[in-house]
Amino acid sequence: MAGKDIAIQGVDGEFKGYFASPGTGKGPGVVVIQEIFGVNAVMRTIADEFAARGFFALAPDLFWRLEPSVQLTDKTDAEWKHAFDPMGRFDQSKGVADIQATVSTLRATPGCTAKVGAVGYCLGGLLAYLTAARTDCDASVGYYGVSIQDHLAEAGKIRKSLMLHVAGKDQFVPPEAQKKLIEGLKGNPHVTIHVYPEMDHAFARPGGAHYDKANAELANGRTATFFRQHLS
């Protein structure tokens, strides 16, 4: 079944999200949290793939206050420049509030089991971490999240399961930041961290400059198992 854009009611107003349903019409939910490129073809494909595996998937447009419906690729310098503009102005706290609204929208969807997870990439990886700390989401996964090491004061608020996929050679998360992240979270029993030593940022983005099929499949398999454990 093809996905569609739907309206999500947030605390600051209505915004859109890309919604894909499982063929069975029932199952848990998953919030797909965007990269800096918006709810583009990559995010929509991820949502479709989750729907094919039995989830209600919803990717909210978190840049709606700045530039609604932006859809960029990672293929040109101009698009990269464009993408970093809303990233620089983005209010993370409002973004997390929008994710909470998205979780609530999924829980209210007919057929949803009321168990809802979240998975995010890049900027979305950071937001997945903050989602685990600040929302009632049941389980969260972050891929190569940026700046998580700057938010470790919130680690104690994480009461639901969180899995982080860390790229060992991430150009946006240097070794000292990774060390701080791992040290800061190792005492939390709810957190699982997987490190992919030779991988650069966005190694799981199909078609991206650093895409690595083997490691992407390993990370995605771990994510699938994690969600089966915590959302079923």
In the set 165, 201, 210, 230, the catalytic residue is: 201
Which of 140, 139, 116, 126 lies closest to 93 in space, CA to CA? Answer: 126
Catalytic residue among 48, 61, 170, 212: 170
Per the annotation, the verdict on 48 as an active-site residue is: no
- Do 47 and 59 touch, CB atoms closer than 8 A? yes
168 alpha-carbon distance from chain centroid? 19
For residues 156 and 165, give the distance between their C-alpha atoms in angstroms, rounded to a whole number: 20
Active site residue 150: no
CA distances from 26 to 16, 36, 76, 114 (A): 22, 30, 39, 10
Tell whether the torsion through CA atoms of 155, 156, 158 and 163 is positive or negative: positive
Please identify every residue annotated as catalytic: 170, 201
